[in-house]
Amino acid sequence: MNEANKSMLLVIIILTAFLIIAGALVLHREEPDTLGERLDNAADELGDGLEDASEELQDRSTLEKIGDSIEDAGEDLQDAAE
């Protein structure tokens, strides 16, 4: 994979992460998750590791969730670059 392809992949991943975050903001307007929703989200995240699953159990604000999404996107970028 040459440098141009790597750069294009990086741009696509960043744009995709941005669209996901923007969509999450629109769809999730500070409505607190119920315990059942947090448990369901945690179960979905178990495949990504216990840390990600435990984050879903915490009662976090939308901004905290966005920060975690950005962090996860950065980790995905690092994995793709390797």
- 33 compared with 78, residue with greater pLDDT: 78
10-23 pLDDT tens trace: 889 899 988 888 88
Q: Are 21 and 70 a contacting pair, CB within 8 Å?
A: yes
The helix or strand, by DSSP H or E, that contains position 55, with its residue range, turns out to be helix 50-57
C-alpha 57/C-alpha 54 separation (Å) is: 5
DSSP type of residue 48? G
Q: Which residues contact 29 (CB under 8 A, 6 or more apart)?
A: 62
**Over the stretch 34-79, which tens digit does the pLDDT of each residue have?**
888 888 888 888 887 787 778 777 777 777 878 888 888 888 888 8
